[in-house]
Amino acid sequence: MTRQFTATQASGEVYALGEGPVWDPARQRLLWVDIDAGAVHEGRLDPATGAVAATTAHTFGGTVGGTAGNTVGNTVGNTVGAVAVSAGGELVVAEREVLTLVDTAGRRTELARVLPPGVPSRLNDGAVDPAGRFLIGSMALDDREGQEVLVRLDGTACVRLDDDLTLSNGLAWSPAGDRMYSIDSTPHVVWERDYDPATGRTGPRRELFRLADGMPDGMCADAEGNLWIAVFGGGRVECRDPGGRLLATVEVGAPNVTCPAFAGPDLDVLVITTSASGVDPAEHPGSGHLFTAQVGVRGLATPYWVPPRS
């Protein structure tokens, strides 16, 4: 029997394209991005109520002209697709084409260029593998298909894992770290491959399942090895086992749900980001807010990113 949950609005602020929540246990803070605003946000999560209070924003220059969901038209300026944090508190930020290190004093250094200058693409979702390596994918900003990448940052070098994607999105690993899951949103596919955490070496990519009703967006895994997938345009998060069987749904008060992540001291609060872009706020007043839900399971701890040695 499929379990049913309902998320509660957790933030007072509205984000144009909220994405990529990350829990930082050492500092008891939640990080997330607003892609369109080119911003990384920090906040405090109240695990008892699920409320999120924004505290700090790091801005990188937002877009001009706006977006509609995850499809960008006539975009000028910068975006921030994802963020990860190190044990020492440094951030790696996926700007439009490059990865940037932000140290604890706020100083910024370019780590690696992922995309060539001026291509009609941008960096999108990213995550840290079990050994502390950062992975990031790209998405097309036009109607090109099958030309986007998923790369792994090894030191300051980018190792390409995929180069045939259209909208690279959510990433997750099994509890043992020996399987990696990734999403290409446009064909609605969740991929699986063997993964060696010690080396980052991967096996052949294989299709795990497809979502027939809605576009899969961001993703995380729980401690039992099940996948929690945001359904963009579907107003929900789905929990599926690695075979694709639907185990639970979380209804969210916004149609464009972008990414879930487990947070809080016990990793038992599911934090969900949403997008306000292209949505009528009178019809969908929850759009762009953060939501939270208690879903009866704990998440996998997000590994800290390991910065390159200087």
Residue list, annotated binding site for a divalent metal cation: 19, 169, 217
231 is written with which tokens?
A: 């359904």
CA distances from 181 to 88, 143, 175, 176, 209 (A): 27, 25, 12, 13, 11
> Cβ distance 97 to 109 under 8 Å?
no
CA distances from 211 to 4, 117, 271, 274, 278 (A): 18, 33, 21, 19, 23
CA distances from 120 to 239, 241, 294 (A): 33, 35, 39
Which one, of 252, 223, 213, 221, lies nearest residue 235 by Cα?
252
Chain centroid to Cα 53, Å, comes to: 20
Categorise residue 216: left if φ over 0, alpha if ψ from -120 to 50, beta otherwise: beta
Longest dimension (CA), the chain: 52
- Residue identified by tokens 């291509």 is 119
Which one, of 183, 200, 35, 40, lies nearest residue 134 by Cα?
200
> Cβ distance 229 to 236 under 8 Å?
no
Residue list, annotated binding site: 19, 122, 124, 142, 169, 217
Residue list, annotated binding site for substrate: 122, 124, 142
37 is written with which tokens?
A: 């605003």
Strand, coil or helix: what is 26? helix
User: What residues are labeled active site?
Assistant: 217
Residue 274's beta-bridge partner residues? 257
